[in-house]
Amino acid sequence: MKRLVLQFVLAIGLTAPVFLVLTSFDTVGRVDNGETRWKLLIPPFRLYGAVGIEGEDEVIAGVPLIASFTSAVCFIRFLSIILNHRHAKRHPP
């Protein structure tokens, strides 16, 4: 249980740096400023029930944050699995 909580806290801590890295890519900038963004975000707009610019802004900010958190969780889990495997290899039962 402690490991799970630690992994969750680490994922939260990594969310902001991952967000900055993901949004710094040139492709994201092009999608962010073009009509493609609106086509990609139509499903989240409908799911969230965004009406007007205020609701759309929340979705536009939330989608990259959710993607960043999900990426951070996957990264932390991957590292945890690798480290557990290495530890088990060095210290057999």
> Is the separation of the CB atoms in 22 and 28 below 8 Å?
yes
- Total of domains in the chain: 1
What span, in angstroms and rounded, lies between the C-alpha atoms of 46 and 78? 33
For 13-63, the pLDDT digits (tens) are: 999 998 888 777 765 555 556 676 677 777 877 887 777 777 777 777 788
Find the domain containing 46 and state its range. Answer: 2-90
The pLDDT-based confidence of 89 (bands split at 50, 70, 90) is confident
CA distances from 14 to 17, 37, 38, 44, 67 (A): 6, 25, 28, 24, 12
